[in-house]
Amino acid sequence: MNFARGYIRRIDGLNRFIGRVVMYGIFVMMAILLWSSVSKVFFLPSMWTLEMAQFAMVAYYMLGGPYSIQMGSNVRMDLLYGEWTSRRKAQVDAITVIFLIVYLGFLLWGGIASTIYSFQYGGERSPSAWRPYLWPIKVIMCTGIFLMLLQAISEFLKDILRLRGEPYPREETN
């Protein structure tokens, strides 16, 4: 179980750091969309702004997801969950996180295959007028899915430790 505690500490720390950095990505998206508005009014409209804002949103969402799971910000059905004991919650969470791990495994497998395809065929490009390469956003997506998979395993280990009545590393409150 020392391995589990070390794993939880390292993965939670990594995802906390990445999540706190990525949360400022909202300002990147705001700057892109502000430039889009300004350029449409005062200059020629930019072709790249809409797609770049979408790419920034994907990065924000995918890299911030593991931090969201860690903080418990994900949506739960509190109709029953809120009334359960902490042991019952840990039991249900341990079962449902297994489904999440399997889902993320398949998602990562498909993401890696798509990223490899993007590299193999001369650099896959978007069909838009701007035609950016798609491999950078696919790499970010695979990285985010991988980090989310690591965080889901961390949550599973936390549930196991809770069920065994053993302490585990707590998240920082800052």
Alpha carbons 65 and 71: distance in angstroms, whole number: 10
Per-residue pLDDT of the chain (174 residues; tens, 9 = 90+): 788 889 999 999 999 999 999 999 999 999 999 999 998 888 887 888 889 999 999 999 999 999 998 888 777 767 787 788 888 888 988 999 999 999 999 999 999 999 999 988 878 888 888 888 999 999 999 999 999 999 999 999 999 998 888 777 665 443
Which residue shows structure tokens 């449409």? 40
Closest-CA residue to 105 (of 50, 150, 164): 150
- Cα dist from 21 to 5, 27, 63, 68, 129, whole Å: 24, 12, 10, 13, 31
Amino acid 73: pLDDT: 79
pTM over 0.75: yes
pLDDT at 40: 86
- Tell me, what's the pLDDT at 173? 40
pLDDT, residue 174, reads: 38
Torsion of CA 132, 134, 137, 142, to 10 degrees: -170
Which amino acid appears at position 40 of this protein?
K
* Residue 63, amino acid: L
Domain boundaries, the chain: 2-164
Please give the pLDDT value at position 145: 97
- Per-residue CA distances from 167 to 11, 15, 66 (Å): 17, 20, 22
